[in-house]
Structure 1
C-alpha cells in the first residue's frame, strides 16, 4: 500500500514538495557555512518525494539545536507553514486524509530537521 501511496503522492504534489527542499538546499549551499544545512535539505528531499512508509524520530544534541534555530529563522518556518496549509486543505476530504497526514509529517520535519532520524 505504501508503494501506491508514494506513487500517487509523487504525481499529485510530492514532486513539488521535494523540489522545494532541493531549492532550499541549493540556497543554503551558496555559502560555505550553509553547506551542512544544504546537505541535510538534500537528504530530506528524498523523504519529501516519497514519505509513505517512513517514520520521523526527533532527537539531537546541542549542535542540532543551534542548527535548528538557524534553520527555523532562515527558511524552515516557510516550508513548515506551506506543508501545514496543504495538509489542512487535503484533510478536508476523506480521500485526502492520508496525504494530509504526510504533509503534517513534513511540516514537523521542516521545523526541526537536524537531529531527526528517518526510519
Structure 2
C-alpha cells in the first residue's frame, strides 16, 4: 500500500515538491552560511519525493546550534513552506482519493518548519528504536 500511495503522490505532487526543495537547497548553498540550510532542504526534498513509509525523528546530538538555525529557518522560509503544505493538504483532502495525500502534506509541516536536528528514517526503524 505504501508503494501505491508513493506512486500516486509522486505523480500528483511529490515530483514538484521535490524540485522546489531541490532548487531552494541549491540557492541556499551559494553562501557558506546557507550550506546547513541547503543540506536540510535536500533532506526534505528526498522525504517530499517519497513520504509514505518514512518519518522524522529527533537527533539526540542536536543542540543549541540547531535551535538557533531553526529559528532563522522559520523566520526566513519555514512558515512559507508550512503554509504551502497546509494549503495543498486541505485542497487534496477535498477528494476521497486525496485524503491520504493531504495527510502526507500535513506530516511534512513539522519538518518544513524545523528541519535542523531531525533526520528522516523508515517507519520500521523508528518503531524499532521507540522504547515503551
TM-score by length of 1: 0.93
Contact 1:25 1:42 in 2 (8 A): yes
Structure 1 residue 85 displacement after superposition: 0.4
The count of residues paired between Structure 1 and Structure 2 equals 119
Structure 2 residues not aligned, in runs of 5+: 122-132
Structure 1 residue 117 displacement after superposition: 2.4
Alignment of structure 1 residues 32-71 onto 2, 5 Å:
32-58=32-58, 60-71=62-73
TM-score by length of 2: 0.84
Q: Which runs of 4+ in 1 moved over 3 A?
A: none
SS in structure 2 opposite 1:41? helix
Contact 2:43 2:120 in 1 (8 A): no
Q: In the TM superposition, what whole-angstrom CA distance separates every residue of 1:6-33 from its partner, at most 9, and x where no partner exists?
A: 1111111101111111111112111111
Structure 1 residues not aligned, in runs of 5+: none
Report the structure number with the largest CA radius of gyration.
Answer: 2
User: In structure 1, what is the Cα distance between the partners aligned to 2:90 and 2:14?
Assistant: 16
User: In structure 1, what is the Cα distance between the partners aligned to 2:35 and 2:119?
Assistant: 19
Contact 1:90 1:100 in 2 (8 A): yes
User: In structure 1, what is the Cα distance between the partners aligned to 2:23 and 2:74?
Assistant: 16
SS in structure 2 opposite 1:55? strand
Which of the pair is proportionally richer in strand? 2
User: In structure 1, what is the Cα distance between the partners aligned to 2:87 and 2:81?
Assistant: 10
Matched, 1:31 2:31: yes
User: In structure 1, what is the Cα distance between the partners aligned to 2:27 and 2:109?
Assistant: 19
Matched, 1:103 2:115: no
